[in-house]
Structure 1
């Protein structure tokens, strides 16, 4: 009977987070293996719509050994450019990766280390790095089961373009980054869109002569750690601000869309006998988004005043549309809605990790990715350490930190050299 293969480190997930870990492990010449259920960094190609683009400027893309290398640092890479950028990173890292292999269980071994069960056989490891992200299971509410079979339903990860949906109006549920951008994509394609708006914040694309991201970088926002954020770990539950990099970048203003014919509603609550019912909180959600928008701009105003930077004069957003009345219902047949796109996020699924590192909500407890269960680390989660932890901007720095901790632990486990031999 052949021995089970052993590796110092097993990395679960071959996206930019797992690849960044592999980069730093290779720099330290630490033996490791990366398992990826599909193909390296496949998400950008297989789970994004055709007109998808970055919402942060290209200059923020700073994977280890692979900063943005294109001609437009202040632009926003579109889907094909993102895929090409990540593929070049894969080629540079040249990771020891097993693609098409799923990890089905990780557990501690009585003699130390971990057993790793996969779809292609078992291995053992001293260290486990979970790099599979936190967006695993698309959230679709059970209410969806009650909708008429004639209504085509997809999740945001399945949306590609307006042409894939049947003729007729489209209901988009959720107004975070994906929901707002998919609603815009459909709207620009000439489709009649109904949008269920949630309590998502928004921000300006450009303000006082510069991209808002550039101002926030100057203000140190992207270096703020979870421990220093006013919300502490609560920031990890925040919905991302909606904005877009499309066509060179612009605001997403749902009020303007309403003026152009998009129908807006509050949070979707239920369905019964052909009619959808919404919470009557549309005005509240729009006002919250605008307060956030103006609040960020006001912080930039203070920074400009304090530093004496020359910039165009300040401004305050004034609503271009207000709901004439809250509409609490939508008759599907009467409105001609033929399809629905669920844009209400994903749920994490770490059931395969049989190690006590989770809190009561099923989320990993860690400090900058390092858990109290020695040998288990996480990487690539939103706000793992800073805002950029789940993005191209800071995942490489987080990976370097995690690998440094791993290297120290591995060194402490090595038997002492026999200098007398």
Structure 2
């Protein structure tokens, strides 16, 4: 077969290429548009598709609607203290794109980015090649669903799926459902199944939890007033290690409430420690359930301690509220379980994702494949990341602070362009 001929004429050029058209990529586009900077946005699917395609039917935000803000665009609906559903978030982000008509090319995937010998970056896409002076990667940090190697040893009759594939309880076969993982997705999916009347088994990990409301307000509102969400990652306890932390579990469903795994256990949900293996058809667990429940409660109570201290320091008039008391404790730790004998017919892996930047052929990654950056600015001139968890603050991977991060990078991009032009 003869090779495809090289394109005739100059390769197309843009000052900036943005990769990804979710809320981060759109925020970047708006900031660049406001500054009159030439750019194009490539999206392998459609604008904001992740909100529509990778969340379950009853998904809601866990942060209140008043915290949702993009550049020049804020939530202005009827329920600022509520929590948008999956469909509402998708519609809200799509409507944002309509406010300024970003130059998005949908259904075009970026397949390679390399540093160009003459400066800038050579970019290969499914629609052809081009060159850019600067590149913003706004493709998120959750690329490939994680499933442990021992998943291949599950009994053949058990249907497996990742949390990104879960949609609703009715899609699963009749019988018990096992959920592995208690980060935000795992805890909320377990609740979704429980509320649907399914028999649920849950392997509890080390994720912390937070109360939904305390002393008359959403805990998010208290923490916002305390400046918690504006504190840069390097000033947080644990520093850059925060980027590896699991999010606190809580829910915005039905107006928002705690997720109390102990309460679920009282209502019939079976809880286990961390799942570590499958052998001879049996699930194996660490005897870590009680320790994990106590640790999650301790984090929630510690957050309340900080809120109490703020209320006292600022002399805020707030109602007194009794502290949480555990409603259930395990009387034993199950370490071996026969899923078939218990009638378990499906399993949901809610154990996270890993990054996949194989197409980004620039040396800006650590040994684990995570990008090295300072507030999204890498060690390679002109290459940036936006929308990653803890890019700069807690809100960087959320609606709370992506606008601020995009503004910072847009100013940096403009300054770099001017310095390059003057050289």
- Judge conservation of contact 2:396–2:405 (CA < 8 Å) in 1: yes
* Aligned pair partner of 1:405 in 375, 397, 412: 412
Give, in angstroms, the shift of residue 60 of structure 1. 0.2
- Judge conservation of contact 1:54–1:245 (CA < 8 Å) in 2: yes
- Judge conservation of contact 2:28–2:406 (CA < 8 Å) in 1: yes
Q: Which residue of 2 aligns with 1:139?
A: 146
Q: Which residue of 1 aligns with 2:218?
A: 211
Within 2, Cα distance between the matches of 1:409 and 1:298?
Answer: 45
* Aligned pair partner of 1:9 in 8, 11, 16: 16
* Aligned pair partner of 2:270 in 263, 269, 272: 263
Give, in angstroms, the shift of residue 360 of structure 1. 1.8
SS at match of 1:334: coil
- Judge conservation of contact 1:19–1:93 (CA < 8 Å) in 2: no
- Judge conservation of contact 2:19–2:139 (CA < 8 Å) in 1: yes
* Aligned pair partner of 2:115 in 108, 119, 128: 108
Unaligned runs of 5+ in 2: 1-7
* Aligned pair partner of 2:43 in 36, 46, 56: 36
Within 1, Cα distance between the matches of 2:48 and 2:90?
Answer: 8
Does residue 226 of the first structure (1) align with residue 233 of the second (2)? yes
- Judge conservation of contact 1:22–1:93 (CA < 8 Å) in 2: no
Within 2, Cα distance between the matches of 1:395 and 1:415?
Answer: 30
- Judge conservation of contact 1:151–1:339 (CA < 8 Å) in 2: yes
How many residue pairs match? The answer is: 416
State the TM-score, normalizing by the size of structure 1: 0.98
Does residue 70 of the first structure (1) align with residue 77 of the second (2)? yes
Give, in angstroms, the shift of residue 93 of structure 1. 3.1
Q: Which residue of 2 aligns with 1:235?
A: 242
Give, in angstroms, the shift of residue 315 of structure 1. 2.4
Deviations 1:270-294 (A, max 9, x none): 1112210011100010000000011
Deviations 1:143-194 (A, max 9, x none): 1111122111110011110000000000000000000000000000000000
Q: Which residue of 2 aligns with 1:419?
A: none
Q: Which residue of 2 aligns with 1:347?
A: 354
Unaligned runs of 5+ in 1: 417-421
Q: Which residue of 2 aligns with 1:309?
A: 316
Q: Which residue of 2 aligns with 1:165?
A: 172
* Aligned pair partner of 2:185 in 178, 181, 192: 178
* Aligned pair partner of 2:284 in 260, 272, 277: 277
Deviates more, 1:398-407 or 1:89-98: 89-98
Does residue 296 of the first structure (1) align with residue 303 of the second (2)? yes
- Judge conservation of contact 2:153–2:281 (CA < 8 Å) in 1: no
Within 2, Cα distance between the matches of 1:276 and 1:222?
Answer: 39
Give, in angstroms, the shift of residue 375 of structure 1. 0.8
Give, in angstroms, the shift of residue 322 of structure 1. 0.3
Deviations 1:231-279 (A, max 9, x none): 1101111100000010000000000000000000011111112210011
Q: Which residue of 1 aligns with 2:5?
A: none
Does residue 86 of the first structure (1) align with residue 93 of the second (2)? yes
Within 2, Cα distance between the matches of 1:259 and 1:94?
Answer: 51
Within 1, Cα distance between the matches of 2:29 and 2:401?
Answer: 15
Deviations 1:128-149 (A, max 9, x none): 1010010000001111111122
Within 2, Cα distance between the matches of 1:230 and 1:141?
Answer: 30
Within 1, Cα distance between the matches of 2:184 and 2:422?
Answer: 51
* Aligned pair partner of 2:55 in 48, 68, 80: 48
Deviations 1:321-365 (A, max 9, x none): 000000111111111000000000000111111111111221111
User: Which 4+ runs in 1 deviate beyond 3 A?
Assistant: none
SS at match of 1:182: helix
Give, in angstroms, the shift of residue 98 of structure 1. 1.0
